[in-house]
Structure 1
């Protein structure tokens, strides 16, 4: 893969062009891409033209968006494909039962990566969206994923982010142990002061979390225990279905 004069690989520059797009910035001009990717405008223009040619980007009303080709390739053989397919019926049931936004997530590169979301009109404020990332220490999903992570993963994360965790959660090891004891996590106002987040882990055969499912409800709701029980039931169902290798009918 050809390098730039600075020694940077072409693939690295291409990734930066694609990563310039975000949920809050789905449409960009070439100049904006160059600025957000920290690239010379001529380099950004050339890479944009290459991406347009293969469908990684598409042009719409004078701006650029991520292309459908990226979605197609990502879903063709993704490691998360089976997880999403298995979880879908359970997420739909939770969405109908709880009448709130429901999401499926995994721990990826020290962040919570949202794989799937079922929305609900009129539901509580929820900042999760598909393919977005959220801070571990500021989400119930992140904390439940961390609580049920393999010991080396948990220790490594705490070592890298102990200051953030301590500022938000105090004695984080005690808090993670309590989450493991209860089987779910729930926190008030970690992102929005008017809401409460709840999450339960989807466990693999080794007892470690392979994913989490989460719900955000109004902070003054009296249904938190019902929500937690529903999440744990659905999470166990997803875990069993994954081990059986098939989604429920």
Structure 2
């Protein structure tokens, strides 16, 4: 089910509009620029930013506003993601030590995957992923692992949607993509070969709840010049199953 959109005219809608106006690479953003990005009157942005600073959601600097530490603290109180991180990080670290390539942990949100952890060394491949960032489900290994275990309705919606070609190798044919999802269910892992960005290949596996609902997924990512995703399929699949088993025990459920 897709998340309903906020009314941009409501107070909460305008607050979220201001917070969402900040880009990942922004330092401080000036009042005029925030007004331009949000389309709100400058006086309204000023008033709301003042309140957001008081709530520690924004911080005021000489150069403008930046996202505040209160947002980070609030985000870390999100119990499901916090528990998932506590359980998953040791497995991610083991995968990284074994493969010496970038490891991701992502959770599904609508038709996208949100990355909540990323471990990479000095030689990590240049990937568009970042902690807190989003990518479409259909063109990433971690997204395809999640999508393959989603409901038929969710799969149909994604396949009927806009499958934008992000690289020359992005799979945009619904039939071919559905075939790949069937293979994911059969093999227990999903692959990406330069479909979200050139220069990266990945293998991923879903972390399933006891009812086979995809809670999250993990992936290993590296450059095609040195990384063979299929050589790490067993390790990634085992790590995902291990995380799922511990989560099930913590919830008092039988392991999947």
TM-score (norm 2): 0.86
Which residue does the alignment assign to 2:128?
Answer: 127
SS in 1 for 2:80: coil
CA–CA distance in structure 2, aligned partners of residues 197 and 158 of structure 1: 21
Runs of 4+ in 1 over 6 A off after TM superposition: 162-166
Root-mean-square deviation (CA, aligned residues, Å) is 2.2
Q: Which runs of 5+ in 2 are unaligned?
A: 1-6, 252-256
SS in 2 for 1:80: helix
Which residue does the alignment assign to 2:42?
Answer: 41
Structure 1 position 213 matched with structure 2 position 214: no
Structure 1 position 85 matched with structure 2 position 86: yes
Structure 1 position 50 matched with structure 2 position 55: no
Contact 2:138 / 2:158 at 8 angstroms: preserved in 1? no
CA–CA distance in structure 1, aligned partners of residues 233 and 34 of structure 2: 42
Contact 1:21 / 1:27 at 8 angstroms: preserved in 2? no
Within-5 A mapping of 1:131-170: 131-161=132-162, 167=172, 170=175
> Displacement, 1:26?
4.6
Length, aligned pairs only: 241
Q: Which runs of 5+ in 1 are unaligned?
A: 1-5
Structure 1 residues 13-50: Cα deviation after superposition (integer angstroms, max 9, x where no partner): 00000011121335321122112222111111111111
SS in 2 for 1:79: helix
Contact 1:169 / 1:175 at 8 angstroms: preserved in 2? no
Change (3 A) 1:9 1:110: same
> Displacement, 1:242?
0.5
Worse-matched range after superposition: 144-153 or 233-242: 144-153
TM-score (norm 1): 0.88
CA–CA distance in structure 2, aligned partners of residues 222 and 101 of structure 1: 11
Contact 2:138 / 2:147 at 8 angstroms: preserved in 1? no
- Counting helix residues as a fraction of each chain, which structure ranks higher? 1
Selected match of 1:233 from 230, 238, 242:
238
